[in-house]
């Protein structure tokens, strides 16, 4: 059956998908909130990564973050799909954010709208790759079921690894998840972390950042298990040079055909801190 209804794919600003990855795709973004001293800032709208990192270096206080309210989601859904189009909302992990809960509360208030909410169980470009999968199906004329299933299928195969300089930011933001057992040695290690089932957990602990990045490449190779890396995304928090180095390593070592490069959103940067580098990828036979 030919799909005659437009599918609107939406996500939240923690995905921070680079514009180069969105060519030919239509993705609407609802901003998360950043609270810093007396300022209430929309993530990626009122403050971008460079401004965020500059302020972070000079600030004596750390910001906090919050999800959009159900009322904000109601207005957002009505705005992006005014003609009754279907919506697939792929959002940050419900295990670390209330964004999914707010979207589902809004969904209940809009019973005449066809809305699917997908819990990505990830964040940053781990979430972003799921969004791109749904958006590509929507752009090709797929149905709401097909677009939601594409995001869910990507959720099952995407890996999102990241290295942080310190666990301090994750601890302060309450996002440390199963990696909390590392706190006693946090000053002496550079942990490699991952999202698993929506929460952050430790994969490996190394003594230096260099060793951590080298070990991350070894973990990637283990998880590829001889398959081709189909697509990857590298994100960084004020660590562009190291991120570019990882991109070069992916090309040389794995021949990765598609690599997206992006900073992380200010909200994500709040929780992982300066120097963090993340790698999201998936393989195809």
7-32+67-155 topology per CATH: Rossmann fold (3.40.50)
Q: How confident is the model at residue 56 (pLDDT cuts 50, 70, 90)?
A: confident
Which of 97, 69, 98 is closest to 271 using CA atoms? Answer: 97
pLDDT at 264 over 50: yes
Sequence-distant (6+) residues with CB within 8 A of 34 are 40, 41, 42, 43, 46, 47, 52, 63, 64, 65, 266, 267, 270
**What is the percentage of the chain residues whose pLDDT exceeds 90?**
71
pLDDT at 274 over 60: yes
Q: How confident is the model at residue 183 (pLDDT cuts 50, 70, 90)?
A: very low
Burial (0-12, 13-18, 19+ Cβ within 10 Å), 83:
exposed
Q: How confident is the model at residue 189 (pLDDT cuts 50, 70, 90)?
A: confident
At 284 the pLDDT is 87
Q: How confident is the model at residue 251 (pLDDT cuts 50, 70, 90)?
A: very high
* Lookup: tokens for 246: 């990882």
Give the other-Cβ count within 10 Å of 37's Cβ: 9
At 164 the pLDDT is 85
pTM: 0.91
pLDDT at 269 over 90: no
At 235 the pLDDT is 96
Digit-coded pLDDT (tens) for 130-175? 999 999 999 999 999 999 999 999 999 999 999 987 776 666 644 4
Query: What average pLDDT does the structure give for the chain?
Result: 90
Using the structure block, give the residue that is written with the tokens 């490699």.
192
8-32 b/e (C-beta count within 10 Å ≥ 16 → b): bbbbbbbbbbeeebbeeeebebbbb
Sheet holding 277-284, edge to edge: 199-206, 190-196, 159-163, 277-284, 228-236, 259-263
- CATH number of the domain located at residue range(s) 159-284 in this protein: 3.30.1180.10
Whether the domain at 7-32+67-155 and the domain at 159-284 fall into the same CATH topology: no
Decide: helix, strand or coil at residue 182: helix
Which of 168, 155, 113 is closest to 282 using CA atoms? Answer: 155
- Rounded Cα distance between 240 and 88, Å, is 32
- Rounded Cα distance between 262 and 234, Å, is 7
Greater confidence, 77 or 1? 77
- Range of lowest pLDDT (7-16, 59-68, 244-253, 267-276): 267-276
Digit-coded pLDDT (tens) for 193-237? 898 999 888 888 888 889 999 999 999 999 999 999 999 999 998
- Rounded Cα distance between 190 and 202, Å, is 11
pLDDT at 3 over 80: no
Domain ranges of the chain: 7-32+67-155, 159-284
Compute CA distances 266 → 66, 112, 238, whole Å. 12, 34, 11
Highest mean pLDDT among 2-11, 100-109, 156-165, 257-266: 100-109
Alpha helices, DSSP H, located in the chain: 49-58, 70-80, 99-109, 124-139, 144-157, 168-172, 209-224, 240-254, 266-272
Give the other-Cβ count within 10 Å of 191's Cβ: 23
Digit-coded pLDDT (tens) for 70-101? 999 999 999 999 877 899 999 999 999 999 99
* Lookup: tokens for 166: 């310190």
Q: How confident is the model at residue 1 (pLDDT cuts 50, 70, 90)?
A: very low
Decide: helix, strand or coil at residue 166: coil
> What angle do helix axes 240-254 and 209-224 make, rounded to 10 degrees?
30
């Amino acid at each position: 059956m030919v799909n005659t209804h437009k599918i609107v794919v939406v996500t939240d600003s923690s995905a921070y998908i680079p514009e180069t990855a969105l060519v030919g795709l239509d993705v609407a973004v609802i901003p998360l909130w950043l609270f810093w001293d007396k300022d209430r800032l929309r993530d990626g709208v009122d403050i971008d990564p460079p401004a965020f990192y500059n302020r972070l270096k000079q600030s004596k206080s750390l910001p906090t973050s919050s999800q959009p309210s159900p009322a904000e989601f109601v207005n957002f859904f009505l705005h992006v799909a005014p003609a009754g189009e279907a919506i697939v909302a792929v959002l940050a992990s419900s295990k670390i954010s209330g964004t999914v809960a707010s979207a589902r509360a809004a969904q209940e208030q809009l019973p005449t709208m066809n809305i699917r909410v997908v819990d990505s169980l990830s964040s940053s470009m781990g979430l972003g790759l799921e969004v791109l999968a749904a958006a590509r199906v929507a752009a090709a004329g797929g149905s709401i079921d097909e677009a939601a299933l594409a995001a869910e299928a990507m959720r099952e195969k995407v890996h999102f690894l990241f290295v942080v300089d310190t666990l301090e930011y994750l601890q302060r933001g309450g996002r440390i998840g199963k990696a909390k057992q590392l706190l006693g040695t946090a000053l002496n290690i550079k942990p490699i972390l991952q999202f698993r089932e929506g929460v952050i957990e430790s994969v490996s602990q190394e003594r230096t950042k260099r060793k951590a990045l080298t070990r991350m490449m070894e973990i990637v190779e283990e998880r590829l298990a001889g398959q081709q890396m189909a697509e990857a995304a590298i994100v960084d928090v004020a660590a562009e040079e190291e991120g570019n180095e990882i991109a070069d390593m992916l090309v040389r070592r794995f021949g990765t055909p598609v690599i997206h490069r992006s900073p992380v959103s200010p909200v994500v940067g709040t929780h992982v801190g300066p120097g963090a580098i993340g790698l999201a990828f998936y393989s195809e036979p």
